[in-house]
Every structure is written in C-alpha cells, then in structure tokens.
Amino acid sequence: MPKNHLPKLSLVTAAVLAVTVQLSEADDASSQISTAVSIAPVESVAPVEQAEPSNFQDYIKESRKAEEEMKKSLEVKDTIFGIPVLGNDKSEPEVIKRSAETLKRILDLNNDGEADNPELVQYMANHNFRVVVAGSPHDLGNLDPDDFTDSTTAEISGKGLNTDSYLMENLGIVSDAYLALLKEKAKDSLEAKEELASLEKAIAQLKDNGLNMGDDDDQTSTSQADEEEGDDSADYIVMGELILSGQFPTIYDRLTGVIRLAVQHSNEAKGKDIQDKDIEYLIPNSLKKLRAYTPESFQNDNPLLCEWLSRHSLSAPVVDLEKVEIVLDKETISDLNDDSDDDEKDSSKESDTQTTTNV
C-alpha cells in the first residue's frame, strides 16, 4: 500500500525523509521531547494489519485497483477561475474550503474578484491543472501519477505532515504553470527567454549562498543534479515567496514539531526516550538556514530572486497558519514506524555486509 504523501516543496520533504531514514541512528536519552507548536494529542496506535500481496504482480494489481477507485471517487467540489478543486466523501469540507480560498487568494492577490493574470489561469484551465483534496495523506498515495502529475496537481490533505499543504501545494502548481507558460513564450519571444535565463542566475545565487534543494552531503554538480532530478525552479520560487511573506519560520516550526512528536511517540512505543538535540542534527542545514532568514535578510543576500519575483508579480498570500491545529494521524505514525524499522533492517544488513567484506 502507498506511503504517506509528502509536501511538494523538496526542502521540506528532505527534512521529513532525513528524520524517517535516520531515526535508528538517534541515541537513547533521558528526557522527553517538548514540541514548540500546538499539536493534537495522539491516541495509542494499534499495529495496522494489512494483507501482504503474495507476489509483485498481485501488488501491482492491488495498487492499480486502488488508483482506479480513487480516481472514480473524485468529483468537482469547487472551481476557481476554471481550475477544479476535486474531493470525495472522505475529504473534509473545511479543508476543501480552505484549499479553494487559498488558491483564489494566490491568483487574485488584490482581492478584486478577477484573476491578476488572466492568461495564466486560462493556461492552467486548458492544461488540466487541478487541486485534489484527500481525506488523508495515505489516500493521496492512491493518485495515479500518470493522471495526476506533480507539476499539474496540488495534492492536499488536512492531517499530519500535510496540514499546511493547502498553501504550499497551491503555490507549487501556480509556480509550475507560470514557468511552463513562460517556456512556451520563450520559443518565440527573446524577452521570455531572457527572463528564464535571469531566473537561472537567481537560483545560482541561492545555491552559492548554501540554499540548495539537494541534500547537505550531496556532492553532485548543480548541472548534473538538475539533469537527474528535473527542473526544480518552481521549488525555489515557492521557497522565496514563503520567506518574503514571513511565513517560512512558522511552516518550519510546525513541520519539525509534528516530526518531533511522531519520533517521540515511536520511541515511547519502543521503550526509548530521545532528546531534542538528537532531532536537530537530522534536519538538513539548508533548511535551518532558511528558518533563520527574515524577509529583509533574504532580500539582502538573494536580491536576484527577489527582483525576479517582484518583476513577475509572484508572491504568497499571508494566511493564519496556526489557526489550523496539526493532527498527527495514525497513518503518519504507522508509516514513520515502518520507515524506521525498514532502515534498521537495512542498516543491519549493510553492517553485516561490511563485516563480511573486511574479514
């Protein structure tokens, strides 16, 4: 069955993965973790019993069945400037409403009831951009990636690591659409081509300042990484928008808070404690650097991206993030535990292999 879906912004995803992959490396400690954000209490989680597919073919068959059922269950719940907001009977009405309103605010920053960029919203409507609000992160994993591509779909749920996805995911698809439209224009327009080159220089400046979307220890060259991972320009745009709007620290604190609580719950189940410092070293340094920025200091260090965003009238609306309480759902805890257990097994295998090799 699919794992929890993670937020689109790759640096945030990197932080989540860094914790889940390296949980087994954390040392035992004597004090409990205290979270810095308001998070709903978690009930005791019983082991999730799922029938394991007998072979790979059965697994694929079950996966495709789940994808087909998910697709059939979706229906249009709202439409924003021709862009559909989809959901099903598991989608929470409040999350659907919040997601639709946030997309509208992104596309209509002056709140006059009209899209600020009619050409952009028309492009999004014509090229199947859409918002999907699922009942849980687990349900998002049942979206067929061929039908619901990352670059055209805002995948949102209101639980766990995805609680603030209504803002990040909507910013992501708008940025992806804007860049796709600009690339189309660049085929015939020198000005558009120069703007793409200007964005490339702006992102290079960010990377020179240590704000790389890749892993801290990744020694792959920038050009090679871009070729392997695809164009991540939209992620840098969203990152800049969130910092300049002053909202990135809140998103960071809420995400790391829910991760800490999940790790604490996982270790309690195993009879272990963990200190806050043992979590901090798991978070990528690049993410910590972003947390430390104010809008003013970001502008001083990274003027090229700030000027580019201003020139293209791209910005994030300010929303009351803390109004929405984070709910650490059972599926997130179960998946974090599964990932931790898998990593412990992999680490054990690697250790055995290394010992055998050295003998």
Please choose, from the candidates 234, 100, 87, the residue with its C-alpha nearest in 3D space to the C-alpha of residue 171.
Answer: 234
Determine the average pLDDT of the residues in 215-243: 67
- Tokens 């020139």 -> residue: 311
Contact between 264 and 42 under an 8 Å Cβ cutoff? The reply is no
Helical ranges in the chain per DSSP H: 10-22, 56-73, 93-107, 118-126, 137-140, 165-186, 190-208, 222-229, 233-244, 248-269, 276-280, 285-292, 295-301, 303-311, 330-358
CA nearest neighbour of 121 among 144, 98, 135, 104: 104
Q: Over the stretch 138-156, which tens digit does the pLDDT of each residue have?
A: 889 899 999 999 999 999 9
* Separation between Cα atoms, residue 40 and residue 332, nearest integer Å: 14
Collapse the DSSP code of 32 into the 3-class scheme (helix H, G, I; strand E, B; otherwise coil) and give the result.
coil
Ranges 25-39, 69-83, 164-178, 197-211: which has the least confidence: 25-39
Is it the case that residue 308 has pLDDT exceeding 80?
yes
Q: How far apart are the first and last CA of the chain?
A: 39
> For 113-146, b where at least 16 C-beta lie within 10 A, e where not — what string?
eebebeebbebbbeeebbbbbbbbbbbbbbbeee
Of the candidates 162, 161, 166, 338, which has an alpha carbon nearest to the alpha carbon of residue 261? 161
Q: pLDDT digits over 235-283, tens only?
A: 999 999 999 999 999 999 988 887 777 777 767 766 677 666 656 766 7
Q: Which residues, at least 6 apart from 270, have a Cβ–Cβ distance to it below 8 Å?
A: none
H/E segment holding residue 85? strand 83-87
**pLDDT of residue 357 exceeding 50:** no
Output 215 or 59, whichever has higher pLDDT.
Answer: 59
pLDDT value at 26 more than 60: no
State both tokens at 82: 């021709």
Q: How many CA atoms lie within 13 A of 122 on its CB side?
A: 5
Q: What is the mean pLDDT of the chain?
A: 78
Q: What angle do CA 308, 310, 312 make, to 5 degrees?
A: 70
HSE-up of 331 (CA within 13 Å, CB side)? Answer: 20
pLDDT for the residue 7: 60
Q: Do residues 168 and 243 lie in contact, with contact meaning Cβ atoms separated by under 8 Å?
A: no
pLDDT, mean of residues 50-58: 63
> pLDDT at residue 347 above 60?
no
Q: What is the pLDDT of residue 80?
A: 98
The Cβ-side half-sphere exposure at 120, using a 13 Å CA radius, reads 21
d(CA 163, CA 170): 13
Per mean pLDDT, which range of 31-35, 110-114, 179-183, 234-238 is the poorest?
Answer: 31-35
- Contacts with 248 (C-beta within 8 Å, 6 or more apart), sequence order: 239, 242, 290, 291, 293
